[in-house]
């Protein structure tokens, strides 16, 4: 009997707007953006990382930037399935995962799916641990007007968007979908302690997640990781790129 061929993999290029992972370019670190964000939030990190031997590979989710015409995802398990199918071929050698806020959750879930023997580090930032539910009110349930008002108090949204009602209305579907992904998440599996090669980062004045809550992430690690706290709020990491990259280098080489 002729062997049945597997289905072709999905188009990878749309997930990697800055180019596909290159085997000759250093250890790939797959980067996942915050709710309402896009892969460009990691753009400036790429050049900074090259001298250290890290290849930062920002991942673009559907519904924004170059993928604006696609529907943003609201089903987390289905999105993780998609991401696993795209990333797995590039994870047959050492790799790492880095995620902030919503991206933190995506990195955590993928760490349980991708080849564990090649995972050199999972770096989580700016989100409560998986077993801590999102406190109400839930933003994905707000009306468009309420969600637009909520944007005014959040960091990370460019001023040129906030100043134009039309741009805000275009921005809201992806933002609402992203909030739905992270706010409806429930950890209901065992074991709770996965012993991941995990390292945690946060800002000391983050209104979204406290330093104490981020420290609890270490309970999911293998004992080698640490909590790294930097001055700043929820988007502290954009002011501390070099220091965070040094920690990434140290983490993947432990």
Per-residue pLDDT of the chain (254 residues; tens, 9 = 90+): 333 334 434 578 999 999 999 999 999 999 999 998 899 999 999 999 999 999 999 999 999 999 999 999 999 999 999 999 999 999 999 999 999 999 999 999 999 999 999 999 999 999 999 999 888 787 887 877 777 777 766 665 655 555 556 666 777 888 899 999 999 998 877 666 688 999 999 999 998 899 999 999 999 999 999 999 999 999 999 999 999 999 999 999 85
Q: Measured between alpha carbons, how far is 218 from 225 in angstroms, rounded to an integer?
A: 7
Structure tokens at 28: 């790939």
Given this model, what pLDDT does residue 163 score? 58
Given this model, what pLDDT does residue 12 score? 87
φ, ψ for residue 122, nearest 5 deg: -120, 120
Given this model, what pLDDT does residue 8 score? 38
Query: What amino acid positions are annotated as catalytic residues?
Result: 101
- Measured over the CA atoms of residue 147, residue 151, residue 152 and residue 153, the dihedral's sign is positive
Structure tokens at 170: 């275009």
Residues 6+ apart with CB under 8 A from 40: 17, 58, 65
Q: Angle at Cα 44 formed by Cα 84 and Cα 151, nearest 5°?
A: 75
**pTM of the predicted model, to two decimals?**
0.89
Structural domains of the chain sorted by starting position, each given as residue range(s) with its CATH number in brackets: 23-132+186-252 (3.40.50.1820)
CA dihedral 207, 213, 217, 219 (to 10 degrees): 180
- In 3D, which of 98, 87, 104 has the Cα closest to residue 34? 104
- Number of helices followed by number of strands (H, E) in the chain: 8, 6
Asked whether the bond before 137 is cis by omega within 30 degrees of 0, the reply is: yes
């Amino acid at each position: 009997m002729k062997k049945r061929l597997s289905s072709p993999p999905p188009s990878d290029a749309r997930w990697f707007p800055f180019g596909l992972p290159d085997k000759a370019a250093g250890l790939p670190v797959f980067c996942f953006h915050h709710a309402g964000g896009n892969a460009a939030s990691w753009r400036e990190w790429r050049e900074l990382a090259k001298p250290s031997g890290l290849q930062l590979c920002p991942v673009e989710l559907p519904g924004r930037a170059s993928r604006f015409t696609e529907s943003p995802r609201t089903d987390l398990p289905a999105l993780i399935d998609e991401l696993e199918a795209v990333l797995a071929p590039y994870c047959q050698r050492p790799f790492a995962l880095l995620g902030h806020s919503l991206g933190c959750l995506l990195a955590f879930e993928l760490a349980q799916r991708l080849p564990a023997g090649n995972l050199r580090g999972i770096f989580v930032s700016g989100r409560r641990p998986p077993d801590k539910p999102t406190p109400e009110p839930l933003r994905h349930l707000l009306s468009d007007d309420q969600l637009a008002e909520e944007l005014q108090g959040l960091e990370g949204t460019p001023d040129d968007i906030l100043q134009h009602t039309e741009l805000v209305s275009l921005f809201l579907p992806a933002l609402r979908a992203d909030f739905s992904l992270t706010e409806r998440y429930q950890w209901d599996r065992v074991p709770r302690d996965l012993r991941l090669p995990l390292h945690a980062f946060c800002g000391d004045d983050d209104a979204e997640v406290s330093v104490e809550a981020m420290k609890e992430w270490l309970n999911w690690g293998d004992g080698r990781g640490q909590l790294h706290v930097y001055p700043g709020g929820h988007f502290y990491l954009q002011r501390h790129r070099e220091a965070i990259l040094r920690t990434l280098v140290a983490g993947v080489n432990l």
